[in-house]
Structure 1
């Protein structure tokens, strides 16, 4: 086998599978091209408003349809695996983590938010409250969730590890503008391994990169870039490959653009015209599968198109094996019937546009008799995949094709066992606390958010739980704490009273009780006297009252007559 074919398979099966990412990233050659004619990814389901798309490393496709549903299928299948549509409103963006948790924005009547959903479970957990719907969603390597708010011209973020729904500003100011610290209706976003944020700034017709912790961005593509790039018209999404080159969904120009060392050029939908399998209509998002094929949500045509990787090496033709058909039964059984498709491509040294590439495709059966065509400038040997035994695939037949290996269906650390009697089925052995055909149901008493405020959850023998709270926190879920208002109280619930305050309380109560006794006694004495007087005719106080009245009666004083002056006339008796 020639080294160039080994290099191609290395790209297809190894490079894109970073161990710390749930999505596929690749390193493409300068001359890489994709088939200009797309294939409808799934035909068994009618899509209404497909926008968000995510493809994990197992090549499971997740599509957010704004009609209120998330559709999930395997990329080599034409059958739908499952649909999530319970309590879901206007989902626009979607992201799936390594453990299979699905994060999707939900414009719920009770408030806009981002929900975490576990595949196979009907429940959801709000992880971020938002002002409006997320037009872009991403989770970086540090478990930080990013959401681009289309209506409020900003990108917010929040760490998933703090068990709160709050967020902080990551880019933009919240007001529409064209300065380097502003956004105008941002859409798709991407965060690389350096935690640099890439934003498709839609109405500013540019792609911005915000270095980690920096408020101002740098224009990487668009008319406002300092370097000569390419003119964009309402870009809807941006994806960054392993070499930090850009793939841009240019919405209003109905095309997909990539950057390379030779600049920017169109790779899909480059000729314009009405929607067809070679043209797009309002494309919204794009994603790679593990083979380097491109998937595009074609919003205007209500479909998801798949564009096959044609070649990945310069100056000669290449051959890519692809799975064509498969059928999947419910949950624990799947059947795979495959055919091998060999695609050979030729192109000149400097031609990068798909219009310069000619294709010849031959479908073959498992007998491995493969006609080959090539118009390269030098001879190319034909690549013939080996004939593997049952349940193995790959160049050296070293990759298992059993259900457990390909689908990895068992969730929550469940162990998958291939059914020995039926090679197309599997069984999941679940850990304690989990059940379901895929161990998708979690019945453990201790959940990640059972105990709040860093409390430690311990399973009880009766099947319940008990939270060991940190200092100051209390309650069944460590949900509250008591702060004593003064030094007179202490204890976990402020239930301990100081001696000084206790003495004051006892004294005040004693004085109060004494006053109550005195007032009560006086009132009772008056009542008894009134009863004796008016009921029994006994006036106990009559004599005493008489004495008191007499003492108070004023004494009548005898008035003194005024002194009279009498004059005496002496008479002489002798006369």
Structure 2
């Protein structure tokens, strides 16, 4: 065999060896890709079961982030104080009782399908422009009417405080916050909602920008207590047994907690933002009736949903026909309440009116307002919170007019 032939065979052999190794590495690479794909799919399924399983098992929902409320003010970012993680459990609701001490203002026993209210409101708090003086309000939002003590509590958002106004008073009194915006325990930063726990004589406040729910003891030297931390609360309500309900606009859900801040259940929404019956899109205000049904203003869907006790999806009881000003539509609904007949009252913020939707109705009727944006007695500029006293008089927080209006029920 001559030298050229040997060289040629060596070259050919080397080429074959390289081809063999090339095929081998291609096979190895392909096998690795297959195993990687199997591992990725398996890991995804495990994570879904471990992380999402408990939540979906209870409500068939998942969470995501939603857009801000129509009534949100521009804010600067604030550092939130460090708070320990809240314990989570799942428990059954207690049986219904006759105890009414903690029920928020939901009596309205004199309201019926034909009830009417005076069309000109009376300013009972604020109304002289946005200022931080105690007789004025800045962007009032949540209301709590306390008939037993002839007073109301107002979430004075722009002043970062909760104000107490006695019936007939010309000025209020600071009972929570009022120490500038911040995240210290004696401060509030844009409080959106307030309710009163009569048993514990304390205010429960949604401290919006600090992402927490705080208990402020009424007229005592006891320091406020953080009940729930790291929650994008918008509204907070109590049920007849002291359970705390919180709307979380970012997670598109409503949750229930014990009075000590132990998570009990997901009661509405929780899926990705959408308009399905199991979904919410920026839930804001809530109302809890005496059988634990929860009414939710689903703001970005321009509708009000009702979630019955233990339900996995809600039903549309007002709006849901797109954004608009027709009688079958809402535009940025906010405050909500329901009477004993199941009729719903909605603060229709961007339409500057309060609507009533009778149970099962296809469209609503205007209760008060609906006369365009303005500051006259028969006008609103974004009604955002509402409540009733035991005489069924209607109270409305008129957001951009910096006042609370009272509309007397017409007695027939």
Q: Give the TM-score normalised by the residue count of structure 2.
A: 0.65
Report the Cα offset of residue 270 of structure 1: 2.3
Report the Cα offset of residue 57 of structure 1: 2.6
Out of 131, 136, 140, the residue aligned to residue 46 of structure 1 is 136
Contact 2:342/2:359 (8 A) holds in 1: no
- Distance change in 2, residues 1:107/1:201 (3 Å): closer
Report the Cα offset of residue 42 of structure 1: 2.4
Find out whether 1:135 has 2:217 as its counterpart: no
Report the Cα offset of residue 210 of structure 1: 0.9
Aligned residues: 289
Out of 143, 147, 154, the residue aligned to residue 63 of structure 1 is 154
Out of 96, 112, 115, the residue aligned to residue 29 of structure 1 is 112
State the distance in 1 between where 2:376 and 2:124 align.
14
Contact 1:18/1:25 (8 A) holds in 2: no
Contact 2:102/2:242 (8 A) holds in 1: no
State the distance in 2 between where 1:309 and 1:83 align.
29
The 5-angstrom pairing of residues 257-406 of structure 1 reads 257-260=355-358, 263=361, 264-311=364-411, 313=412
Contact 1:221/1:229 (8 A) holds in 2: no
The 5-angstrom pairing of residues 117-128 of structure 1 reads 117-122=216-221, 123-128=223-228
State the distance in 1 between where 2:175 and 2:311 align.
40
Q: Name whichever structure is richer in helix by fraction.
A: 2
Find out whether 1:200 has 2:297 as its counterpart: yes
Higher relative contact order (CA 8 A, sep 6+): 2
Residue 253 of structure 1 corresponds to: 351
Residue 188 of structure 1 corresponds to: 285
Residue 213 of structure 2 corresponds to: 114
Give structure 2 stretches of 5+ with no counterpart: 1-98, 127-133, 178-185
Report the Cα offset of residue 230 of structure 1: 2.0
Moved over 3 A (4+): 17-20, 163-168, 260-263
Report the Cα offset of residue 91 of structure 1: 0.6
Deviation readout 1:481-534 (Å, 9 max, x if unpaired): xxxxxxxxxxxxxxxxxxxxxxxxxxxxxxxxxxxxxxxxxxxxxxxxxxxxxx
State the distance in 1 between where 2:236 and 2:256 align.
10
Alignment RMSD, CA only? 2.4
- Distance change in 2, residues 1:22/1:283 (3 Å): closer
Find out whether 1:101 has 2:101 as its counterpart: no
Give structure 1 stretches of 5+ with no counterpart: 1-16, 314-575
- Larger Rg belongs to: 1
State the distance in 2 between where 1:22 and 1:302 align.
23
Out of 139, 148, 166, the residue aligned to residue 74 of structure 1 is 166
